[in-house]
A and B are shown apart, each in its own frame.
Chain A
Amino acid sequence: MANVTIDGINVSVPNGSTILAAAREAGIRIPTLCFHPDQAVKANCRICVCEVEGQRLLAAACAMPVWDGMVVKTKSPRVIEARKTILELILSHHPQDCLNCIRNGVCELQDLAAEYMIRDNPFELRVKGYARDHSTPSLVRDQDKCINCRRCIGACSEIQTVHALGVEKRGHEAMIVPSMGGSLSDSPCIMCGQCVHACPVGAIYENEQIDEFLAAVADPDKVVVTQIAPAVRVAIAELVGMNSGELDMEVFVSGLRQLGFDYVLHTNFTADLTIIEEGNELLQRLTAGKGKLPMFTSCSPGWINFCETFYPDLLDNLSTCKSPQQMFGALVKTYWAEKMGIDPSKIYSVSIMPCTAKKFEAARPEMNASGYRDVDLVLTTREVGRLFKMSGLDFTRLEPSNFDSWMGEYTGAAVIFGATGGVMEAALRTVYEVVTKEALQDVNFTAVRGMKGIKEAEVDLNGTKVRVAVGHSLGSARQLMDQVKAGESPYHFIEIMACPGGCIGGGGQPLTKSNMKRAERIDCIYTEDERLPVRKSHDNQEVKTLYDEFLHEPLGHKSHELLHTHYHQQHKKFA
């Protein structure tokens, strides 16, 4: 342990701790910009500099390890002068259009400018005026806003191993750019949106499509139907002034009706359906030798993009199941429209997703099994949060409302799709009972839960041992894929979610700087699962009705037409 004095406060911290950590221990918050709790230290913004007694140079608190007897000043005149000057320098390169910025009110640079009372910046404003990059349906890059902290690179390269972003040029011309200075769509970007969470400012963000939504609800000829992904409810609470998970589902539904949705349905319904289809597909691969093993899950569109870009030779290992969003899209304009007696051409299908890659997925040309574009619009959790804010709703006073029929019922198995390991656990709950014909004593497969990068488990299905693995974040996916590629994978079934923590940490969720927040949301997901009376997908009554009346059997003709797909290698210019 090292004894350190910070602003006159004595703390004892483990050797090797940084000044930043020691200060936190002392109850002192040192400002940071490039520092990210889940990434390697960069020490490039220099906002966290502090004075260390006996040292000529100021020390970056995020990088400097403490020593026994170290005396630190975190807010001496010298330190304040340095921080203010650095902020002025950064701001003199940054557009001053906070009012129009998507990050207005949720911007770390804006907060620092306020904290350090930047009033008259002595440096002449020099904004370069780059065109925004709208090349993907998911993300928008605003080069002018970028402050070169490189947290997006940390997310993209260190955590996701995608390496879509890098640094080009040098000095004040240095800038973060997609590979080879091309557009995002030419880069290997898989549109997971983890860079959006990492970005402290508005330099990269979701392709905001709120105007399209407002136009749809204003159109009297359109029947606007929505589906909500499993991970959305727990997180959207954070955007309406509540803690994660605090917003009741029924109140959420009521809020969505207030926004103008004609019908509120649930992606959880097709999550349960996915389990039936995917579970049967797994059993076919396991027992009938139809298809490759290990089988990979296919609900995460960022992961699909990753596989199509980096592992095209393993595409046959992917489950042919569409994601729950696309299954829903295909059914809402066929089965549901028929059942409700609504002309499918009038249905405008909006999905509310924790995900930026879903915007890309919905726009894939093959996703029109219903004869129309299956999902017309994808709004992220953040976009819906903004709509709620604009609507002036008071969620503490809204009357609860139930989901609409035929595609609104769901089980706990669907709820846990939102967390890493959830699809696996849901599948195991069903597959176990289908194969053994016995009721599960304990539906909780805790081995596949939690924030560990790769989790594994073994399940005994009537003497057949099935080995499964769960990976979240694409760094973990890469490890598992390399194992498969080398022929060394011991698994039969692998769940991959592109984002850390699974969908609750998706690129469209409320901005999440650290994995701690993700873990909190995961807890809320499992609490909801525990609370639900039905926790196994095959017990979903509306799903049963769907098979009875429409699909007839899992993996049947209709299923293949509407619920399954094929994957193709993505050829990126600079991948």
Chain B
Amino acid sequence: MAKELRIVLRNYQVIDPLKIEDYLNTGGYKSLEKARKMGQSQVIDELKKSNLRGRGGAGFNAGQKWSFVRQAFADRKYVVCNADEGEPGTYKDRIIIENDPQSLLEGMAICAYAVGAAKGYIYCRGEYPYVVDILKQAVAQAKVKGLLGDFDIEIRMGAGAYVCGEETALIESIEGRRGEPRYKPPYPGVAGLWGQPTVVNNVETFANVPAIIEKGSDWFKSIGAASYPGTKVFTLTGDVVNKTFVEVPTNTTIRELIFGLGGGIPQGRRFKAVQIGGNSGGFIPESLLDTPADFDSMQKIGATLGSGAVFVMDETRDIVDVVERTAKFFEHESCGKCAPCREGTMRVHEIVEKINHGKGTSRDMALLERLGRVMSAACLCGLGQAAPTPVLTTMQHFMADYQAKVTG
């Protein structure tokens, strides 16, 4: 039976999140102090060795990302925290910030020290105004105590665009422009905010940093899956008994998440599918439930770890109907910059809707597959590339649901 292991949520209900003294009493800001003694390159080496990988969805080695920014030659560098938690069914960043905002700030401050940045931004989801308040209070408290030194953190609020969770669209938004992704390369580590080298990490990634600096990379590496060590916060939604969040080692299997910590499917119904990582996640059938929920294992089965949303569907769910909803979501959230996403998300929705209403043909199925294949390879950013994943994975694993609706 899988058990929770709390690193980023170690202070959950242990401290009063709005009292910095509580955080300090549990050893808070000791890691920043330690980092400053270690020296910049040592901090980055330690992080690299820990193999902490980005918790926002792309899974890039955080230490490596930081080292690019540290090595970059520039007058100014920035640390940006992506708190634009827009994935449906995901609320892990909110839980972290609500319960332990200082861990995030300390992680960012360690990063700023390591890369040589004097300014940080937290880009917070527009639908989280109360989280913005918590962050503002937390920053003010840290400043009063002089804990952040010369490092200044500004809170910026999104305006509801899902695409602003994409790091370059987020940067555009901070700069005051339309939230649209930039082409990459150059990556933010080379030319990010205001064109300067910038670290962009997710809330959960930063929140891991103080513990890693405190306990060392060996400790961190020993937890969870070897290639994606540590823990991951999952949020369980849909047809699952315990609709809650859990922080578990990354070698926990999907089955353990749903049937162990999640308590299984309500009303004695049978499991049908699970979508992990948010709306752009792949649909996983029963046969793949023993896959560990780490980044690489998920990728191997054509799914994604993404944000860690776990959306469980029981036997009563109509898969094509669910896919139509995700398709509608992407049609609505495409920024409209690149042609295959702008037009493609609309067409995917149009075709899936047609099939779902019993008007689709095998020609539509073939077109849908081709469109999905092209979008996933040719779109400008992760949104468009991932948008067809639900379609493609359900066509792979739940073809019978489609066939039941396709005519001719």
Decide if A22 is an interface residue (CB 8 Å cutoff): no
Decide if A531 is an interface residue (CB 8 Å cutoff): no
- A82: chain B residues at CB < 8 Å are 340, 374, 377-378
Docked-complex contact B334 and A122, CB < 8 angstroms: no
Tell me the dominant secondary structure on chain A's binding face.
loop
CB distance from B334 to the nearest CB of A (A): 4
- A465: chain B residues at CB < 8 Å are none
Contact indicator per residue, chain A 26-43, by CB within 8 Å of chain B (1) or not (0)? 000000000000000111
Docked-complex contact A174 and B335, CB < 8 angstroms: yes
Contact indicator per residue, chain A 75-91, by CB within 8 Å of chain B (1) or not (0)? 00010011001100110
CB distance from B76 to the nearest CB of A (A): 22
Docked-complex contact B377 and A89, CB < 8 angstroms: no
Contact indicator per residue, chain B 333-355, by CB within 8 Å of chain A (1) or not (0)? 11111111011111100100000
Decide if B276 is an interface residue (CB 8 Å cutoff): no
Q: A82-B340, A147-B339, A171-B346 are in contact. List 8 more A-B contacts (CB 8 A).
A: A49-B378, A86-B378, A89-B340, A90-B339, A148-B336, A171-B332, A171-B334, A174-B335
Decide if A58 is an interface residue (CB 8 Å cutoff): yes
Output the residue of B161, B339, B342 with the most chain A CB within 10 A: B339
Assembled-state Cα–Cα distance A124/B343 (Å): 12
Output the residue of B333, B371, B373, B374 with the most chain A CB within 10 A: B374
In the A-B complex, the 5 residue pairs with the smallest Cβ-Cβ separation, listed nearest first, are A174-B336, A89-B343, A43-B183, A171-B334, A172-B346
Interface size class of A (residues with CB under 8 A): 35 or more
- B331: chain A residues at CB < 8 Å are 171-172
Decide if B300 is an interface residue (CB 8 Å cutoff): no
Decide if A56 is an interface residue (CB 8 Å cutoff): yes
Decide if A119 is an interface residue (CB 8 Å cutoff): no
- A93: chain B residues at CB < 8 Å are 343
Decide if A45 is an interface residue (CB 8 Å cutoff): yes
CB distance from A72 to the nearest CB of B (A): 15
With A90-B339, A92-B343 as contacts: A170 and B161 at CB distance below 8 Å: yes
21 A–B contacts from the bound complex (CB under 8 Å): A46-B340, A56-B377, A57-B377, A60-B183, A81-B374, A82-B340, A86-B378, A90-B343, A122-B363, A123-B343, A148-B336, A170-B336, A171-B332, A171-B333, A171-B334, A171-B346, A172-B331, A172-B343, A172-B346, A173-B336, A174-B336
- B3: chain A residues at CB < 8 Å are none
Contact indicator per residue, chain B 18-50, by CB within 8 Å of chain A (1) or not (0)? 000000000000000000000000000000000
Docked-complex contact A170 and B334, CB < 8 angstroms: yes
Select one of A46, A47, A92 contacting B347, CB under 8 A.
A92
Decide if A167 is an interface residue (CB 8 Å cutoff): yes
- A172: chain B residues at CB < 8 Å are 331, 334, 336, 342-343, 345-346
Decide if B367 is an interface residue (CB 8 Å cutoff): yes
Select one of A78, A148, A169, A171 contacting B377, CB under 8 A.
A78
- B347: chain A residues at CB < 8 Å are 89, 92, 123
Docked-complex contact B374 and A169, CB < 8 angstroms: no
CB distance from A193 to the nearest CB of B (A): 25
- B339: chain A residues at CB < 8 Å are 44-47, 86, 89-90, 147-148
Assembled-state Cα–Cα distance A167/B363 (Å): 35
Decide if B178 is an interface residue (CB 8 Å cutoff): yes
A122: nearest residue on chain B (CB-CB)?
B367
- B334: chain A residues at CB < 8 Å are 170-172
Assembled-state Cα–Cα distance A85/B369 (Å): 12
Assembled-state Cα–Cα distance A58/B340 (Å): 12
Assembled-state Cα–Cα distance A159/B178 (Å): 20
Please provide the chain B residues from 348 to 384 with a CB less than 8 Å away from any CB of chain A in the complex: 350, 363, 367, 370-371, 373-374, 377-380
A169: nearest residue on chain B (CB-CB)?
B336
- B333: chain A residues at CB < 8 Å are 170-171
Select one of A42, A44, A64, A85 contacting B374, CB under 8 A.
A85
Assembled-state Cα–Cα distance A92/B347 (Å): 10
Assembled-state Cα–Cα distance A123/B371 (Å): 11
Decide if A369 is an interface residue (CB 8 Å cutoff): no
Decide if B385 is an interface residue (CB 8 Å cutoff): yes
Output the residue of A44, A57, A92, A124 with the most chain B CB within 10 A: A44
Decide if A63 is an interface residue (CB 8 Å cutoff): yes
- A171: chain B residues at CB < 8 Å are 331-336, 342, 345-346
Select one of B336, B345, B377 contacting A58, CB under 8 A.
B377
Docked-complex contact B340 and A57, CB < 8 angstroms: no
Assembled-state Cα–Cα distance A43/B380 (Å): 7
CB distance from B106 to the nearest CB of A (A): 35
Output the residue of B333, B346, B367, B379 with the most chain A CB within 10 A: B346
Please provide the chain B residues from 133 to 153 with a CB less than 8 Å away from any CB of chain A in the complex: none
B364: nearest residue on chain A (CB-CB)?
A122
Assembled-state Cα–Cα distance A81/B178 (Å): 31
A65: nearest residue on chain B (CB-CB)?
B185
Please provide the chain A residues from 456 to 481 with a CB less than 8 Å away from any CB of chain B in the complex: none
Docked-complex contact B183 and A81, CB < 8 angstroms: no
With A85-B371, A86-B374, A171-B332 as contacts: A148 and B342 at CB distance below 8 Å: yes
CB distance from A532 to the nearest CB of B (A): 49
A45: nearest residue on chain B (CB-CB)?
B339
Output the residue of A57, A78, A86 with the most chain B CB within 10 A: A86
Assembled-state Cα–Cα distance A147/B340 (Å): 12
B342: nearest residue on chain A (CB-CB)?
A172
Assembled-state Cα–Cα distance A124/B342 (Å): 15
Contact indicator per residue, chain A 85-114, by CB within 8 Å of chain B (1) or not (0)? 110011011000000000000000000000
- B378: chain A residues at CB < 8 Å are 46, 49, 57-58, 82, 86
CB distance from A33 to the nearest CB of B (A): 8
A33: nearest residue on chain B (CB-CB)?
B339
- A124: chain B residues at CB < 8 Å are 350
- A49: chain B residues at CB < 8 Å are 377-378
Assembled-state Cα–Cα distance A290/B216 (Å): 78
Docked-complex contact B350 and A81, CB < 8 angstroms: no
CB distance from A284 to the nearest CB of B (A): 46
Docked-complex contact A86 and B340, CB < 8 angstroms: yes
Assembled-state Cα–Cα distance A553/B90 (Å): 81
A51: nearest residue on chain B (CB-CB)?
B377
Assembled-state Cα–Cα distance A195/B215 (Å): 59
With A57-B377, A81-B374, A86-B374 as contacts: A44 and B335 at CB distance below 8 Å: no
A78: nearest residue on chain B (CB-CB)?
B377
Assembled-state Cα–Cα distance A324/B263 (Å): 84
Docked-complex contact A63 and B183, CB < 8 angstroms: yes
Assembled-state Cα–Cα distance A282/B346 (Å): 60
Contact indicator per residue, chain B 195-223, by CB within 8 Å of chain A (1) or not (0)? 00000000000000000000000000000
Select one of A65, A85, A170 contacting B335, CB under 8 A.
A170
CB distance from B258 to the nearest CB of A (A): 29
- A123: chain B residues at CB < 8 Å are 343, 347, 367
- A58: chain B residues at CB < 8 Å are 377-378
Output the residue of B340, B343, B350, B380 with the most chain A CB within 10 A: B343
- A167: chain B residues at CB < 8 Å are 178, 336
Contact indicator per residue, chain B 176-196, by CB within 8 Å of chain A (1) or not (0)? 001000010100000000000
CB distance from A469 to the nearest CB of B (A): 29
